[in-house]
Structure 1
Amino acid sequence: MNWHAWAAVAVFAGTYALIISERVHRVAAAMGGAALMLLVGATDGKAAFYSERSGIDWNVIFLLMGMMMIVGVLKRTGLFEYLAIWSVRRARAQPFRVMVMLVVITATASALLDNVTTVLLVAPVTLLICERLALPVAPFLIAEVFASNIGGIATLVGDPPNIIIGSRAGLTFNDFLVHLAPLAVILVLVLIGLARIMFRTAFTHDAERAAEVLALDGREAIRDPRMLAQGLTVLGLVIAGFVLHPVIGFEPSIVALLGAGLLVAVSSAETGEVLAEVEWPTLAFFAGLFVMIGGLIETGVVTHVSDALADAVGDRELGGSLLMLGASGVLSGVIDNIPYVATMAPVTADLVHHLGGAGDHVMWWALAAGADLGGNATAIGASANVVVLGIAERARHPIGFWQFTRYGLVVTAATIGVSALYLWLRYFALA
């Protein structure tokens, strides 16, 4: 590697250390790291702003912005209060039952939507539930993030890396459903078991608070039925647009922006108030992170790591698949899984070709599972993680890097281990 590559590694490692230390706000660290990447020549303005391979992923930025605006309108209708009361009543106000319900809902929704959209919709409900029942916010939000990343592996549209893999490998929605949905169901059960142990101190039942919530009528929480009907109609159209993306050809970001614009236009919500609901610091953090990762891509660091992984795999399909799973899990906990998978996809295609076609696609499933599940490892390992941390901070319930990561490492290790067993049993031992 040349000096630009080493400089890029130094900048990325230094920025990551600042984020971990929490002495510098993560947004300031990411923006400063992006500026240094430009100053040392690891990337440039053209690559940072216009390159699909190594620049800011504007699809992610505008998808987040559009969905945040839609959520901002829906918050004004009382919908989330209604859903909070409904959820608590269904779970009989038992904290662990509430968490199980939220985990299952989040995982299921993340298989049909992208995981960022899911947590944007579920997090406000969670905040209200925790407030009503006097429960700590962090364990519930963290568990939902884990569920969103796990649920995302189940389908082609569940997580952006899956779309990249599907396109490169010629895999369909049904292929993902048949091969990875069973794994997702198993991992959700594993997560529920882990959550019962990891967050056991959070399940304190306050009988008085519970009785107050159970006595509420959720319908009284709806403040603006007309705006609610408009918001749900637009949200339904946006979700349909996401699902029909392969047919209509519109990127999810375009669908979200069109939906946000339509909702602001037809509803009585003030534009300025809706824009105030957008998590601008979170969007700035993503922009800085994309520029830093772009510097690693532009200087060849990511390619160098990918080639080393390919050399280690050789012609051993079982060992290679498990190595792909583990390495992807580790690397996706450090760098965003979208550019990682975009870089690894051609390498994986070469490996599959070298292994004689690998008709069961096990190498691709290993890449998808590792990249999606590895995002749970750290607080900045996946887009959903960053979004939820931003929501928690804005609600004055900040979640620290290590507060998230100490649980994330446990969940990632467990889910990657179970995934390795699943791949071995399904594609080798029982094939």
Structure 2
Amino acid sequence: MTTLAWVTVAIFVIVYVLIATEWVHRVAAALAGAMLMLLIGATDAEHAFFSPESGVDWNVIVLLIGMMIIVAVLRRTGLFEYLAIWAVKRARGRPYPVLVILVVITAVASSGLDNVTTVLLVAPVTLLVCDRLGLPAAPFLIAEVMASNIGGTATLIGDPPNIIIASKSGLTFNEFLNVLAPIVLILLVVFLGLCRWLFRHAFRHDTAKVARVMAMRERDAITDPRLLTVSLIVLALVLAAFTLHTVLHLEPAVVAIVGGLLLLAVSRLDPDEVTTDVEWHTLVFFAGLFIMVGALVNTGVIAQLSQAATGATEGRLWGTTVLLLGASATLSAIVDNIPYVATMSPIVADLVHADGTPQGNVLWWALALGADLGGNATAIGASANVVVLGIAERAGKKITFWEFTKYGLIVTAITVAICIPYLYLRYFQG
């Protein structure tokens, strides 16, 4: 690597340590790192702000703003309180069944929506459930964001890396569903078992608080029926447009921001009041992180790591599959999986072409599973993780980097390990 590449890596590592140790607030650390990347020439204004491969992903930023506005308006209708009471009653106030309900809803929703949108909708409900039952919010939020990353793996539209892979490989929606949905169902069952063990200390509840919630009526929580009706109509239209975005030729970001601004306009609420609920510091953190990762892309660091990992197998398909799965999970835990997959896709395409058999497509599935599941390993491994940490901090329920990561490493190691025999049995047995 060049001297510039080594300096870029050094800055990234230092910033990563600052974020992990929380010696400096993550927003300040990310912005300082982005500034240094610009100053040393690892990236420039053109790449940092306008490049789809190595700059700020404005589609993600704008999508988040639009969905955060929708969530901010929904919060004022009482809908989240309604859903919180409903979930507690269905589980009869028992913490683990409550977690199972929320995790399954999150995973299923994430397979049809992007996982960031899902956690934006589910996290406020979770905070209210935990508050009503006197439970610690962190284990529930961590479980949900991990479920969103697992569930999003199942379909072409569930996680942004899958969309990138589909565009490079030509694989269809049904092929994604056929190959990835079965293993995701297995992983979800395993994950629910892991939650029972990992978060066992969080399942102690206050019987008096449970009794009070059980005595409540869900309908009484709705404070503005008119606004709720309008909000649900707009939300339904936005979600439908997300699902049909390839037919409508509208980017999800456009759909989200149009929906958010439309709802804000018809809600009759004070825009200044609503926009105070937008997680602006989370958006700024994303921008800084995108610029830093873009600098690693620009200087060739990610490409060299990816090529070294795949080249180590010397063309052996099974060895390449396992190494690609592991390397993708590892790198996606450190850098955001979107730029990683964008960089790695041309390399995988060459490998699949060189193999020349239908069996070679296993490499695409290894890339998808590694990148999607590897995002669970650390607090900044996936966009949904960062969003949930921001929501928790704003609600006064701060989740530290290591609090998330100590669970994430276990979940990632187990889920990725389960994928190895699945891919072997599906593509190499017989």
Q: What is the TM-score normalised by the length of structure 2?
A: 0.99
After superposition, give the CA deviation of every residue in 1:221-272 in whole Å (9 maximum; x if it has no partner): 0000000011100100110111001111111100000101110111122111
**Pairwise CA distance, 1:313:** 3.0
**Which residue does the alignment assign to 2:147?**
147
1:21 aligns to what? 21
Query: Which residue does the alignment assign to 1:81?
Result: 81
- For 2:205 and 2:18, how far apart are their aligned partners in 1? 38
User: Distance between the aligned counterparts of 1:102 and 1:233, measured in 2?
Assistant: 23
Partner of 1:270: 270
Q: Is the 8 A contact 2:359 2:427 kept in 1?
A: no
Deviation at 1:39, TM superposition (A): 0.8
Aligned to 2:187: 187
CA distance in 1, matches of 2:45, 2:358: 40
Letter in 2 for 1:225: P
**Counterpart residue identity of residue 247, structure 1:** V
Q: Secondary structure at the match of 1:154?
A: coil
1:107 equivalent to 2:107? Answer yes
Which residue in 2 is equivalent to 1:325? 325
Could you tell me whether the CA contact under 8 Å between 2:42 and 2:298 is conserved in 1?
Answer: yes
Q: For 2:74 and 2:250, how far apart are their aligned partners in 1? A: 24
Q: Can you list the C-alpha shifts for 1:257-314, whole angstroms capped at 9, x where unaligned?
A: 0101110111122111111110000000000000000100111111111211231133
Q: Is structure 2 residue 401 aligned with structure 1 residue 394?
A: no
Deviations 1:368-388 (A, max 9, x none): 000000000000000000000
Q: Does 1:384 align with 2:384?
A: yes
Letter in 2 for 1:94: R
2:225 corresponding residue in structure 1: 225
Residue in 2 that maps onto 1:55:
55
Counterpart CA distance in 1 for 2:271 and 2:359 is 52
Q: Which amino acid aligns with 1:24?
A: V
* Residue number in structure 1 paired with 2:206: 206
Q: What is the distance in 2 between the residues matched to 1:280 and 1:327?
A: 32
> 1:288: which partner in 2?
288
Q: Which residue of 2 aligns with 1:3?
A: 3
Deviation per CA, 1:315-370, whole angstroms, max 9, x where unpaired?
A: 21111111111110000000000000000000000000111143462110100000
Per the alignment, residue 45 of structure 1 pairs with 45
Large movers: runs of 4+ above 3 Å: 357-360
CA distance in 2, matches of 1:284, 1:313: 40
Taking the aligned partners of 1:409 and 1:307, their CA distance within structure 2 comes to: 24
Taking the aligned partners of 1:421 and 1:412, their CA distance within structure 2 comes to: 15
Contact 2:352–2:360 (8 Å) recurs in 1? no
- Equivalent in the alignment of 1:372: 372
The unaligned stretches of length 5 or more in structure 1 are none
> How far apart, in 2, do the equivalents of 1:54 and 1:273 lie?
34
Q: Distance in 2 between matches of 1:348 and 1:253?
A: 28
Helix, strand or coil at the partner of 1:361: helix
Between 1:384-393 and 1:420-429, the stretch displaced more is 420-429
For the pair 1:173 / 2:173, whether they are aligned, the reply is: yes
For these two proteins, the number of residue pairs brought into alignment is 430
Spell out, residue by residue over 1:3-45, the C-alpha distance to the aligned partner (whole angstroms, 9 max, x if none): 1111110110010010111110000000000000001110001
**CA distance in structure 2 between the partners assigned to 1:271 and 1:419 by the alignment:** 47
**CA–CA distance in structure 2, aligned partners of residues 336 and 130 of structure 1:** 29
In structure 2, distance between residues paired with 1:135 and 1:306:
42
Give the letter aligned to residue 317 of structure 2.
E
Q: Which residue of 2 aligns with 1:354?
A: 354
Mapped to 2, the partners of 1:314 and 1:277 lie a distance apart of: 52
> Paired residue for 1:241?
241
Aligned to 2:306: 306
Query: Per-residue displacement from partner, 1:193-232 (whole Å, max 9, x unpaired)?
Result: 1110010010013211111001100100000000001110
Q: Which amino acid aligns with 1:41?
A: G
Cα-to-partner distance string for 1:110-144 (whole Å, 9 max, x where unaligned): 00000000000000000000000000010000000
Q: Is the counterpart of residue 36 in structure 1 residue 36 in structure 2? A: yes
Residues of 2 paired with 1:85 and 1:360: CA distance?
A: 49
% of aligned pairs identical? 62
State how far apart, in whole Å, the 1-side matches of 2:310 and 2:326 are. 13
Kindly provide the amino acid, as one letter, of the partner of residue 235 in structure 2. L
- For residues 314 and 246 of structure 1, what CA distance do their matches in structure 2 show? 38
Instruction: For 2:306 and 2:94, locate their aligned partners in 1 and report how far apart those are by CA, in whole Å.
Output: 47
User: How far apart, CA to CA, are the structure 1 residues paired with 2:119 and 2:421?
Assistant: 29
* CA root-mean-square deviation: 0.8
- Classify the secondary structure of the residue corresponding to 1:254: helix
Q: Distance in 1 between matches of 2:273 and 2:61?
A: 20
Name the SS for the 1:294 alignment partner. Answer: helix
SS where residue 403 of structure 2 aligns? helix
- How far apart in 2 are the matches of 1:316 and 1:360? 11
In the alignment, the residues of structure 2 paired with residue 413 and residue 228 of structure 1 have an alpha-carbon distance, to the nearest angstrom, of: 42
C-alpha separation in 2, matches of 1:272 and 1:357: 58
Rounded Cα–Cα distance in structure 1 between residues aligned with 2:421 and 2:214: 43
Q: 1:148 to 1:205 in 2, by over 3 A?
A: same
Contact 2:317–2:360, Cα closer than 8 Å, also in 1:
no
- For 2:428, what is the secondary structure of its paired residue? helix
Q: Tell me if the contact between 2:310 and 2:323 (Cα under 8 Å) persists in the aligned partners.
A: no
Within 2, Cα distance between the matches of 1:195 and 1:372?
A: 19
